[in-house]
């Protein structure tokens, strides 16, 4: 982009004043922005500090590059920080939180694009945004609500991840969060050959980081359909967002494993203990194992399953279920700190030892 045409925002609020006035006048305030106790009024008043610019599609005749409506980098960071304070809001359904935060983050991304924000500023903003998308993959599961479609959320996640990894390559480092996001990208795209090839192009010390190398091995084993070994490696991970990315593949891994076992151990006289499957395939309980087996058409009796290929049937639609290992981690951490990158970070290797070529 021609530097002469770059626009720098001058709006120092989370929401431009004209938009605040228009949305209050037209009754377009979000529940999170209204003065407490006025939710049922036809024209409630807003709390100025809670107002955040909403996403609007560019329209003919609309000046999207008006500096007075664009927020500079520090204000964009302030906006995201505020949005993530809402994530821990008590007595609020998560889909309400997702609806609001997703829309406002989309407006942040729009401001980034219009101002052509690049370099370290773009990296720091994208890192924060991606963390929310990844957490939403787990929190929302495969529910489709008026505010959430997993396909759309995944598209936004992929776009931001690929842009971030490209920036890591373009901007001189080291980048303190690169290991975390390289790991998330591999885990989100488990078994994907393009993601695996991207890993092989990374600098040696980045590629050989124990955490990233473990994620790579899990992805390779997924590709090779060695699901038990893949899950064994995933269970060693302690990063919350990596596990959130892994969870989207868990039900498929479990069902694929059960099909393979139905072929390998297919015999009317062979009984396999369901308690062994609970640990082997990362089920939360023996009851969950038995329910899954019954949905797959496999008979369960006296704590054992009889694998038979002819009886196995794939579930058309797998319902979302929590993962106890991940739930335990989430219960012990502060979600706002996780989203802002203040905790659960993965340390870089001794990057000072990298040669200029490796960097």
Are 40 and 67 spatial neighbours (Cβ–Cβ below 8 Å)?
no
**CA count, 13 A, side-chain hemisphere, 111:** 33
Residue 301: strand pairing partners: 304
- pLDDT (mean) for 127-134: 97
Structure tokens at 207: 């590629």
Are 43 and 28 spatial neighbours (Cβ–Cβ below 8 Å)?
no
- Whether residue 357 has pLDDT greater than 50: no
SS (H, E, C) 99-164: HHHHHHHHHHHHHHHHCCCCHHHHHHHHHHHHHHHHHHHHHHCCCCECCECHHHHHHHHHHHHHHH
Are 179 and 241 spatial neighbours (Cβ–Cβ below 8 Å)?
no
E-only strand ranges, the chain: 272-273, 300-301, 304-305
Confidence of residue 147 (pLDDT cuts 50, 70, 90): confident
Residues with Cβ within 8 Å of 186's Cβ and at least 6 positions away in sequence, in order, are 195, 196, 199, 212, 215, 216, 219
Are 206 and 165 spatial neighbours (Cβ–Cβ below 8 Å)?
no
Q: Please give the model's pTM, rounded to 2 decimal places.
A: 0.91
Q: Which long-range contacts (CB under 8 A, 24 or more apart) does 271-277 make?
A: 271/304, 271/305, 271/306, 272/304, 272/305, 272/306, 272/307, 273/303, 273/304, 274/300, 274/303, 274/304, 274/305, 275/303, 277/305
- Whether residue 59 has pLDDT greater than 50: yes
- Other Cβ atoms less than 10 A from the Cβ of 243: the count is 21
Residue 145: strand pairing partners: 148
For tokens 């190398």, name the residue. 213
Residues with Cβ within 8 Å of 81's Cβ and at least 6 positions away in sequence, in order, are 340
**pLDDT at position 352, please?**
47
Mean pLDDT of the chain: 89
**Distance, first Cα to last Cα, the chain:** 26
**pLDDT at position 98, please?**
93
Are 257 and 230 spatial neighbours (Cβ–Cβ below 8 Å)?
no
The string of pLDDT tens digits covering residues 68-94 is 999 999 999 999 999 999 998 888 888
Residue 69: strand pairing partners: none
The string of pLDDT tens digits covering residues 202-218 is 999 899 999 999 999 99
The string of pLDDT tens digits covering residues 152-205 is 999 999 999 999 999 999 999 789 999 999 999 999 999 999 999 999 999 998
- Whether residue 251 has pLDDT greater than 80: yes
**Residue 209 Rama label (left phi>0; alpha psi -120 to 50; beta):** beta
**Alpha-carbon 71 to chain mean position:** 25
Q: Do β-strands 304-305 and 300-301 pair in parallel, antiparallel, or remain unpaired?
A: antiparallel
Are 97 and 87 spatial neighbours (Cβ–Cβ below 8 Å)?
yes
Cis bond before residue 174 (omega within 30° of 0): yes
Domain coordinates of the chain in residue numbers?
1-85+104-113
């Amino acid at each position: 982009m021609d530097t002469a045409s770059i626009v720098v925002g001058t709006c120092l609020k989370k929401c431009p004043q004209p938009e605040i006035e228009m949305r209050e006048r037209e009754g377009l305030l979000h529940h999170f922005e209204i003065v407490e106790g006025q939710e049922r009024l036809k024209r409630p008043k807003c709390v100025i500090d809670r107002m955040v610019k909403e996403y609007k599609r560019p329209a003919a005749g609309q000046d999207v590059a008006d500096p007075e409506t664009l927020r500079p980098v520090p204000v964009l960071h302030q906006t995201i920080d505020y949005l993530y304070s809402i994530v821990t809001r008590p007595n609020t359904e998560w889909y309400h939180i997702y609806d609001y935060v997703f829309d406002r983050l989309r407006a942040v991304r729009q401001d980034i694009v219009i101002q052509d924000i690049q370099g370290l500023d773009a990296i720091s903003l994208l890192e924060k945004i991606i963390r929310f998308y990844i957490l939403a993959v787990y929190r929302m599961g495969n529910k489709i609500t008026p505010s959430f479609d997993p396909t759309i959320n995944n598209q936004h996640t992929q776009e931001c991840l690929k842009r971030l990894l490209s920036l890591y390559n373009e901007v001189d480092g080291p980048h303190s969060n690169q290991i975390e996001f390289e790991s998330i990208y591999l885990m989100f795209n488990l078994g994907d050959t393009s993601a695996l090839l991207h890993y092989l192009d990374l600098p040696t010390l980045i590629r050989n980081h124990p955490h990233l190398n473990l994620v790579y091995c899990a992805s390779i084993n997924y590709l090779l359909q060695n699901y038990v070994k893949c899950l064994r490696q995933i269970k060693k991970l302690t990063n919350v967002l990596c596990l959130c990315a892994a969870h989207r593949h868990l039900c498929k891994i479990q069902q694929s494993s059960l099909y393979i076992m139905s072929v390998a151990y297919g015999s009317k006289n062979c009984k396999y203990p369901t308690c062994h499957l609970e640990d082997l395939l990362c089920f939360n309980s023996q009851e969950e194992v038995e329910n899954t087996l019954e949905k797959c058409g496999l008979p369960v009796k006296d704590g054992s399953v009889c694998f038979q290929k002819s009886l196995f049937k794939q579930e058309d639609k797998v319902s979302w279920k929590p993962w106890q290992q991940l739930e335990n981690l989430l219960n012990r951490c502060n979600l706002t700190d996780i989203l802002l990158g203040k905790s659960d970070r993965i340390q870089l290797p001794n990057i000072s030892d990298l040669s200029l070529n490796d960097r």
